[in-house]
Amino acid sequence: MRPQKIDQTQAELFRNRLSNQIKPDHPLKILSDKIAWHIVEEEYATMFDEGKKGGRPAAPVRLVVGLLLLEYLEYLHDLSDEAVCESWVENPYWQYFCGYDFFQWTLPLDPSSLSRWRGRLGKERLEQILKLTVKAGVDTGTVSKKDMEEVTVDTTVMPKNVAFPTDSKLLNKSRQRLVKLSKKNGVPLRQNYNKVSHKLSWQISGYLHAKQMKRAKAAIKKMKTITGRVVRDIERKIASNDTLQSIFKDELEKANRLLVQTKTSKNKLYSLHEPDVECIAKGKARTRYEFGCKVGFTMTNKKNKGFILGASAFHGNPYDGHTLKESIELSEKMTETKIKSIFVDRGYKGHNEESGKTIWFSRQKRGVTKSIRKKIMRRQAIEPHFGHMKTEGKLGKCRLWGKAGDEAHAILVAAGYNLKLILNYLKDLLLPIFYLLFLNENARTV
């Protein structure tokens, strides 16, 4: 059934409205009034069958979208789905932000509904949430349409929630998963090697810590032999059963990939629960390799702005230049503004953008005026924004599953960061007013 609508136009006799109690010039209240919620409410309502009868109506769209934005807006607390729902019940400003004008004592949805909504919305509908924040930025004056004509484009790595991959850990984990699956489906194994592998894992960690590499390599080779025995034993036992073959297919494919991959192999498997994780080398001294996917951001180039106009997750570790066209097309779709100038680093040389836009590279000399040189120097200001989104926000670790989770996480991180910039702008805008009121109040008392 179609989602419920939050209708609180009818007054209540014994309850006062939140709009009459909360601070009228609070930035979150002003932001709530500026966001065009009706756009996503009309768009998301089309996902549900209007003629279908029976069943429970879906949760209100504004409530779900508001909770998703608050989860990524309050990134300093690193809130989970459960934590943001618990905080929502206690915070009247959050309830007003989600469309409720009377205080609620209970949450009208289960926290697990947010995960199902993220999967149901998909990439294109989640982009509508980012578009909402861009429109709110224009309506509040945080960013202007003219600012969106000159942008900075860059990529960074969004790490996945996986442990650091080592051969011994991956092999032992694969064996454990196969043994567990065999026990669940009643497949008798000749030997499960649980005690042997546990002892061997401790030996490998001790050898590596003591830099005894020959012993470590021999122990890792033994671990690979044990995993191979379990794999071959299962393959023999399920050879004549099509149902069991379909159940074990995914785990056996991953185990066989681990058994054949070497140090120089391409498309290596780095995680069993996240097989699409890629190893990306960024040339950093502290972290030589990061495991996740590449994310491209488009930001305004103007000083003291850093407003995000587009965010995309790219899989397959593509060359930066080959991501430029998609990033620009998405930004123009979000802003409905034609981009004129693009400022990028030297990693974008050989790009595939052929729409006639002016592209400026770092350290470019030819045709550069004094004003353009300042904007080129401003390009590197995108890096601190990446740092804030990673250290203070949720860009530093994606906990959502699969490729769809990467896409959703990148878009919601960008939307939450935009809202944070809008709230900071509103606070700075209202601060002189508070200061004048404070002076007038002191003058009256004197």
400-427 confidence digits (pLDDT tens): 888 899 999 999 999 888 888 888 888 8
Q: Are strands 278-281 and 289-300 parallel, antiparallel or unpaired?
A: antiparallel
Residue recorded with tokens 């136009």: 9
Q: CB burial class (10 A; 0-12, 13-18, 19+) of residue 288?
A: exposed
pLDDT at 53: 58
Section 372-387 average pLDDT: 88
pLDDT tens, residue by residue, 216-244: 999 999 999 999 999 999 999 999 999 99
- How many Cα atoms occupy the beta-carbon half-sphere of 384 within 13 Å? 9
Q: How far apart are the first and last CA of the chain?
A: 63
Q: How confident is the model at residue 285 (pLDDT cuts 50, 70, 90)?
A: confident
Per residue in 151-177, pLDDT (tens digit) is: 999 999 999 988 889 899 999 999 999
- Report all structural domains of the chain as residue ranges with CATH numbers, in order of start: 18-133+424-436 (no CATH), 141-162+277-399 (3.30.420), 167-260 (no CATH)
User: Could you tell me the pTM of the whole model?
Assistant: 0.86
Give the pLDDT of residue 438.
45
pLDDT of 110: 86
| Cα(382)–Cα(307) distance, integer angstroms | 10
Q: What is the DSSP string of 275-291?
A: TT-EEEE---SS-SEEE
Q: Mean pLDDT throughout 267-272?
A: 90
Summarize the confidence of residues 41-57 as an average pLDDT: 70
Region 27-38 average pLDDT: 85
DSSP state of 355: S
User: Alpha helix locations (H) across 141-191?
Assistant: 167-184
Query: Quick one: pLDDT at residue 441?
Result: 46
Per the prediction, the chain carries an average pLDDT of: 85
